[in-house]
A and B are shown apart, each in its own frame.
Chain A
Amino acid sequence: MARAASPRRRLLTTLAAWFVALLIFFPVLWMILTSFKTEASAVASPPELLGASWTLENYVEVWSRSDYPRFFWNSVVISVGSTLLGLAIAIPSAWAMAFVPGKRTKDLLMWMLSTKMMPAVAVMIPIYLLFQQLGLFDTKIGLILALMLMNLPIIIWMLYTYFKEIPGEILEAARMDGAGMWSEIAYVLTPMALPGIASTMLLNIILAWNEAFWTIVLTTTKAAPLSAFIASFSAPQGLFYAKLSAASAMAIMPILILGWFSQKQLVRGLTFGAVK
């Protein structure tokens, strides 16, 4: 929506937009700045900026002197694992619903969406007890299963809206040329569906990485990912502000980068295709 505007107005809106954007971003920026300060400098009053003593010590210390690498690794395994497992189950389902729709397909999709509206606390107790009995409590496998199931409706819906956009005529043409079902999937559908699958994967890694209910309920220490670790990290009287900030910065950095690449798909994915 580019309209002719006077240079003066343009300058004013640019300034206003930058001011608002920096205001919204400021807490993240402040945390990143704090992570590079010494502990004393981090809690100095009045706050230090130019005169602060900068250091990389916090990152080194968090990474080498605690179990941080393990929490980080758990986050990677759990978010990537649950996403891949989810895709393996969801791709055939979404494919079938998009290309061989039956009378009940719409109802089935709505039912899947409705499971997302069920509050997690309502199923928390049986899952918690079952996980303890089955030996899944505080294991990476258990969390991979839980997060996969939590996000499965979103994965299926996203894939479904992407698959729906692949024109059916292409399939018919392929069939006319004598392509069987499997070669149809391998040579026609997969290349066309890959961008959709990639953005579904990206969004679900983000959702799984940031999940902070099941990770807190279903772990103690062994399988805890970063979200559970930071949630229980308490800073006694500001002694560890800089280290807490460094731990936090490393915890959000992979997702900030992934997220910036996927912001377009994010809208579509989280609105179940309703806003494109």
Chain B
Amino acid sequence: MSTQSTRLAARFMVAPSVIVLFIWMIVPLAMTAYFSFRLYRLLSPDRSGWVGFNNYVWFFNSPDFWLALTNTLLLVGGVLIITVILGVLIALLLDQPVKGQGVLRILVIAPFFVMPPVAASIWENLFMHPQNGLFAAIARGFGAQPILFLESYPMPSVIAIVAWEWLPFATLILLTAMQSLSSEQLEAAEMDGASALSRFRYIILPHLTRAITVVILIQTIFLLGIFGEIYTTTQGGPGSASTTLPYMIFKQAIVAKDIGRAAAGGIIAVILANIVAYFLMRSIGKHLDA
């Protein structure tokens, strides 16, 4: 149905978004790749030149890098496990005929709309603070020592905060998927004497596979870039205990002002994201028909 002229018009309509996205992603990426092989420090601009793979070598030799890499994977993996398992359970519960469905959904979805710095600051100050936090007050109520959450257990604390933010997203998607399951199928299984557990295992869970796949895929994209929560709470500390790869690169660029090293980190992050994306797409791509 498309003539030559509509085709041409269509090209002109698509062009602007392709061009701006290209300028936004590909050009800076090429610049980052270029910087990553240069000596480039904002604090000593007179010294510059090619340094080969030195910036990369610095990264791989830095113990902080391996810690940051581990922390990044811990954060992504930990949040995924918590949100998918709890998300399935809560979706199962909300899918039951309960009173006040509408209000319940509103309460459950709320954390997702809280901007990361506010979410982090609520947990840091009102809950995890060793003197004034609610957890400390509860601990004192039981005569126990308050736990120094962000000092003693920085990564688990950050994972808990991020999981709280993303749990609504997982729950909402799984609930939406669950509601498209026909009740006749479940009723028939119930009539045939299938237990609640086997109904879950053989009917509900297979039906949810696609939704779980989508949750994992999309959350991974966002979780690999988690930044605001760490910036607000621990600033990557104590020491480097809660530094993730994005945060480490941010520190190299903005604090240490070493553009060359930060750029090398950026390229490593791209490669890491591609590896993760490749495995994700391969292992779960079969559930998705794009």
- Which residues does A use to contact B, with CB under 8 Å? 1-3, 5, 10, 13-14, 16-18, 20-22, 24-25, 27-28, 30-31, 34, 42-43, 45-47, 89-90, 92-93, 95-97, 99-100, 102, 106, 108, 110, 112, 114-130, 149, 152-153, 156, 168, 171-172, 181, 206, 209-210, 212-213, 216-217, 226-228, 230-231, 233, 235, 237-238, 241, 244-245, 248, 251-252, 255-256, 258-260, 263, 266-267, 270-272, 274-276
Contact = CB atoms under 8 A, between A and B. Distances in A.
B172 A267 contact: yes
Interface stretch (B23-31, B58-66, B150-158): B23-31
A270 B170 CA distance: 11
A263 B90 contact: no
A231 B21 contact: no
A275 B16 contact: no
A126 to B, nearest CB: 4
B141 A216 contact: no
Given A25-B107, A124-B249, A119 B270 contact: yes
Interface stretch (B46-54, B74-82, B128-136): B128-136
Given A121-B246, A128-B253, A2 B97 contact: yes
A116 B108 contact: no
B187 A92 contact: no
Interface residues of B, number: 108
23 contacts: A3-B187, A14-B98, A21-B107, A21-B108, A24-B90, A30-B127, A93-B17, A93-B18, A102-B10, A110-B290, A115-B21, A122-B270, A123-B25, A125-B35, A127-B28, A212-B115, A212-B227, A217-B250, A230-B117, A238-B131, A256-B110, A275-B210, A276-B176
A23 to B, nearest CB: 9
A226 B232 CA distance: 13
A245 B126 contact: yes
B198 to A, nearest CB: 16
Contacts of A125: 28, 31-32, 35, 253, 259, 262-263, 266
B31 A121 contact: no
Given A241-B132, A256-B113, A217 B14 contact: no
Contacts of B254: 128, 217
B231 A275 contact: no
B288 A1 contact: no
A10 B98 contact: yes
Given A1-B183, A45-B132, A238-B125, A124 B266 contact: yes
Contacts of A235: 121, 125
A126 B20 contact: no
A46 B225 CA distance: 38
Contacts of B90: 20, 24
Contact of A28 (B95, B111, B214, B273): B111
A127 B263 CA distance: 12
Contact of B214 (A2, A106, A274): A274
Given A27-B126, A108-B18, A206-B113, A230 B121 contact: yes
A121 B272 CA distance: 12
Q: Which one of B126, B168, B225 has the highest number of Cβ atoms from chain A below 10 Å of its Cβ?
A: B126
3 closest A-B pairs by beta carbon, nearest first, are A212-B228, A92-B13, A96-B10
Majority-rule SS of B interface residues = helix
Interface in B139-196: 140-141, 164, 167-169, 172-173, 176-179, 181, 183, 186-187, 190
Q: Which one of B1, B107, B224 has the highest number of Cβ atoms from chain A below 10 Å of its Cβ?
A: B107
A188 B96 CA distance: 41
Given A123-B28, A172-B1, A31 B227 contact: no
B267 interface: yes
Interface in B76-124: 90, 93-100, 104-123
A211 to B, nearest CB: 8
Given A3-B97, A96-B9, A248 B104 contact: no
B97 A121 contact: no
A267 B176 contact: yes
Contact of A16 (B28, B35, B93, B259): B93
B13 A259 contact: no
Contact of A24 (B2, B168, B218, B263): B168
Contacts of A16: 93
Nearest to A213: B227
Interface in B248-268: 249-250, 253-254, 259, 262-263, 265-267
Contacts of A110: 290
B286 interface: no
Nearest to A149: B24
A10 B97 contact: yes
A108 B14 contact: yes
Contact of B104 (A17, A92, A168, A252): A17
B39 interface: no
A152 B186 contact: no
Interface string B205-228: 000001100100010010011011
A238 B21 contact: no
Contact of B250 (A22, A121, A129, A227): A121
